[in-house]
A = this chain, B = another copy of it.
């Protein structure tokens, strides 16, 4: 019998946009289910009860000849009272809840972005990246049979049954910490509850009635900095990002000094472990507070870090990583309970650690690869993550090689006479006028460039030392200005034209900042030894890169990714002048900031990416540097500065603009305008 639309067919044509899915749907079919059958998963927490209002769609009215249908709003059953109330209250027109209406005619249904399950979120970075949201922890709403004298099964057993019937979830278990709240949640909610599930296998939390809001933490534990992103696990949105100094710094600046602290101090490991756990708890607390949520609602976390950080985080003594053969305690991905490490999120919160590739290629590297996807590239990608050890990834979709090159800590400002960590007061950028041989410097925490001979500087402009990016630029600039030669030796003759070059016996040093430009009242100089330290470090890095290139059989790389905080502040031009990285089109050199944190976020938001990480850690080929006989040879060859004095004339650096500010966005693409001239 024909209905009000005068159409007596028993099935209709339904198309969905933007997916383009289309097919026959029987008359009276529920639109939510029909969309699912056509392959379009709509967001739904309440399971079709008109409670969560997540499955909103719109009818595109009109004649669509290509689709072979005429779509009308009244091809759906009329608005339900629940829909009317909700849409009126929220001032929404033209929308329907897919779960509330039945198909009565042909339809073209528009599914807005926010109604799509497994929606994609776009990372805000310049290198655009889509993350499909398919988290390990999700919430579902479920109605449970009430207990009675005839029904002796426990509340949990009836809840499990309801999850089976209403959500097709089977063989579930429940975390012991979720059990105590179960009975009151059921009764408060009138035997309707919202359940948070881990991997569709384990119940982590039961809340009364309909509840919304489940969050996760993506954490990168760096040697120097710990960064935590608080994410909404349903939308994928980053609600807050918090960072803190790694408190282990007080027990040892670099990784190896922490390893020896853990080895030699009886309570050393426990102190290192507790310090980072405490910091993570504080970061979680701060991030939650700033996002207006409770850490009680944090139910999942993904943690990455280098192998030493990874082991200490787990309470494992990193002593074996202090020497060959650098044996790892564990390299597989780990699924743990956050409480077992003393993390004070929800008591049942889970914790995932990405896998490790080798003794010096940690979970942070796996995370970087998840973010940068070298394994999905047609062209050769080189990823360099500079720290105490430089981790190098070289590959494409056919092979990915990884190695760790023992650069030492010079790039982090250690072993440099006035070196320091990148912190306020550190000289981070240097330009030397090739005519006058006078230096311009930029200090972290002060916005302007400081010209040579400036006096009466405000306190924040006074330098305390020089950090990694500063020393790299300084050495490159010394070379470009002719103050050192290709071997790295100071040109003693330059002392005749510049009072900045101070000779002292058989050695020399360059006066970068006068005593009255520094916070200490002592001048900051670049010594011959500093230049040597940078040469050794850059040679180790370059030799590693060359060997991976040889192993992969490529002569050049198409894209260079500089990862890590250091990579964000390094000047690609100066890095190439020094021969830190192979020559490449400058516009194909990217600084990706905290790519490890991005990778952690990807693994937090998408459980398939955890599987990919697990595959990747086995598939990527680890090349052991010290084993390669040719390493020493490449190393020696890489010691010198590789280029003629003006290697890239079209990019020749001008003197700095005074107003140029340090770009501190966590993730950005460096496009310095070297050719402004």
Contact = CB atoms under 8 A, between A and B. Distances in A.
Interface of A: 147-157, 174, 176-177, 179-180, 182-184, 314-317, 319-320, 324-332, 334, 336-337, 339-341, 356-359, 622, 624, 626-627
A328 B148 CA distance: 11
A231 B448 CA distance: 74
Contacts of A340: 176-177, 339
Contacts of A329: 154-156, 179-180, 182-183
A179 B314 contact: yes
13 contacts: A147-B325, A147-B327, A152-B331, A152-B359, A155-B330, A156-B329, A157-B330, A174-B330, A176-B336, A176-B341, A182-B316, A183-B316, A183-B320
Given A180-B314, A180-B316, A317-B183, A155 B328 contact: yes
A180 B315 contact: yes
A339 B347 CA distance: 13
A409 B1 CA distance: 70
Which residue, A314, A316, A329, A341, has most C-beta atoms of chain B within 10 A? Answer: A329
B332 A622 contact: no
Contacts of A326: 149
Contacts of A331: 152-154, 156-157
B324 A149 contact: yes
Given A149-B325, A149-B326, 9 more contacts: A147-B325, A150-B624, A152-B328, A154-B330, A157-B331, A176-B337, A177-B340, A182-B316, A183-B316
Nearest to A307: B154
Contacts of A325: 147-149, 151
Contacts of A151: 325
A324 B180 CA distance: 19
A174 to B, nearest CB: 8
Most chain B CB neighbours (cut-off 10 Å) among A154, A320, A326, A332: A154
Contacts of A332: 154, 156-157
A320 to B, nearest CB: 5
Contacts of A315: 179-180
Nearest to A353: B176
Interface secondary structure of A, over-half rule:
loop
Contacts of A314: 176, 179-180
Question: Across chains A and B, which 5 residue pairs bring their CB atoms closest together, nearest first?
Answer: A147-B327, A154-B328, A154-B331, A152-B358, A156-B330
Contacts of A336: 176
Contacts of A627: 149-150
B316 A626 contact: no
Contacts of A149: 324-326, 624, 626-627
Given A176-B314, A624-B150, A327 B359 contact: no
A501 to B, nearest CB: 44
A356 B156 CA distance: 12
A10 to B, nearest CB: 45
Contacts of A152: 328, 331, 357-359, 622, 624
A150 B339 CA distance: 36
A362 to B, nearest CB: 12
A190 to B, nearest CB: 14
Contacts of A147: 325, 327
Contacts of A328: 152-155
Contacts of A155: 320, 327-330
A403 B324 CA distance: 66
Contacts of A624: 149-150, 152
Contacts of A626: 149
A536 to B, nearest CB: 22
Nearest to A340: B176
The residue in A153, A184, A330, A356 that gathers the most chain B C-beta atoms within 10 A of its C-beta is: A330
A325 B183 CA distance: 13
A605 B495 CA distance: 85
A149 B358 CA distance: 10
A443 B325 CA distance: 72
Q: Which has the most chain B C-beta neighbours within 10 Å: A176, A179, A356?
A: A176
A324 to B, nearest CB: 6
A319 B332 CA distance: 44
A516 B638 CA distance: 105
Contact of A183 (B183, B327, B339, B356): B327
A331 B154 CA distance: 5
